Chains A and B, each alone.
Chain A
Amino acid sequence: MALDQQAQAAGLRLGQALADARALLPGLTVLEQDTGFLASAFAEFADWHSNASPLVGVLQDKAPFGDLVLDITGVAHLFGGEAAMLRMVLGRLRALGYSVAGAIAPTIGAAWAQSHFGSSGIIGSEQLSDALDKLPVAALRLDERQVSLLTQMGLTRIGALRTRPRKPMLARFGASLILRIDQAYGQIEERMTPRLPPADHFVERKFFEPISTLEDVLLTMEGLAQDLSQLLEAEGLGGQGFHLFLYRVDHKVMTLSLNAARLTRDAGHIASLFRHRAQRLEQEHYDPGFGIDLVRLAAASLDRLEPGQAGVFETDNGAKDIEQLTDRLASRLGPLSVLKTELVASHIPERAARLVPALTQQAQIAAAGEGDRDRPLRLLPQPEPVAISAEVPDGLPAAMIWRRQRYRLVKAAGPERISAEWWRSGERLKLVPAERPTPPAPGEAPKPLPYTPDLPLFDPMTGMRDYYIVEDGEGHRFWVFRLGLYGGAVHPVWYLHGVFP
Chain B
Amino acid sequence: MFLFCSYSHSTMQTQNRQQRLAALRDTIANIERKPALAEMRARAFDGAADGFPRLPGGLLQDVCTDAVRNGGASLGFALGQVRTLFTPKRLAVLYLQLAADAQFFGLPYGPGLSSFGLDPAQLVIVRASDMQDLLWVAEEALACRAVAGIVADIGGAPEMLDFTASRRLSLRTAESGTSLFLLRYGADRPASAAHLRWHLAPHRSGRKPFDDRAPGPARWGLTLERGNTGQNTREWILEWTGNAFKSLPDRAGKTRQHPPGTPVSLPLPALLGNPISQTG
Contacts and interface: CB of A to CB of B under 8 A. Distances in A.
Given A337-B99, A340-B124, A499-B72, A322 B214 contact: no
A317 B147 CA distance: 11
A322 B112 contact: no
Contacts of B140: 325, 328-329
A337 B88 contact: no
Interface string B48-78: 0000000000000000000001111101110
A349 B111 CA distance: 9
Contact of A367 (B72, B107, B114, B136): B114
B202 A476 contact: yes
A190 to B, nearest CB: 43
Contact of B103 (A328, A382, A499): A382
Interface size range of chain B in the complex: 35 or more
A411 B205 CA distance: 9
A375 B114 contact: yes
Contact of B120 (A353, A403, A405, A475): A353
A499 to B, nearest CB: 4
B224 interface: no
A490 interface: no
Nearest to B137: A329
Q: Interface extent on A, as a size class?
A: 35 or more
A296 interface: no
A21 interface: no
Interface string A307-326: 00000000001110110111
A341 B125 CA distance: 8
B115 A371 contact: yes
Interface in B60-104: 69-73, 75-77, 79, 88-92, 99, 102-103
Nearest to B123: A341
Contact of B213 (A317, A355, A381, A413): A413
A474 interface: yes
Contacts of A377: 72, 75-76, 79, 108-109, 112-113, 116
B106 A379 contact: yes
Q: Is the interface of B mostly helix, strand, loop or mixed?
A: mixed
Given A318-B89, A333-B137, A338 B111 contact: no
Interface stretch (B4-12, B126-134, B168-176): B126-134
Given A318-B145, A321-B144, A375-B109, A343 B91 contact: no
Interface string B203-218: 1110010010111001
A140 B107 CA distance: 59
B259 to A, nearest CB: 27
Nearest to B221: A475
A339 interface: yes
B219 interface: yes
Contacts of B107: 355, 378-379, 381
A413 B75 CA distance: 22
Given A353-B110, A476-B70, A321 B145 contact: yes
Contacts of A375: 109, 111-112, 114-115
B187 interface: no
Interface string A333-357: 1000111111100000100110100
Contacts of B133: 332-333
B205 A371 contact: no
B204 A475 contact: yes
A375 B213 CA distance: 18
30 contacts: A317-B146, A321-B145, A322-B124, A325-B144, A329-B126, A329-B137, A333-B133, A333-B137, A337-B99, A337-B128, A338-B126, A341-B120, A341-B123, A352-B111, A367-B114, A371-B115, A378-B105, A378-B107, A380-B103, A381-B103, A410-B204, A411-B213, A412-B213, A474-B204, A475-B203, A475-B204, A477-B202, A499-B69, A499-B72, A500-B72
Interface of B: 69-73, 75-77, 79, 88-92, 99, 102-103, 105-116, 120-121, 123-129, 133, 136-137, 140-141, 144-147, 201-205, 208, 211, 213-215, 218-220, 240
Rank and list the top 10 A-B pairs by shortest CB-CB distance, nearest first: A318-B146, A501-B76, A353-B110, A475-B202, A413-B214, A378-B106, A499-B72, A321-B146, A379-B109, A341-B110
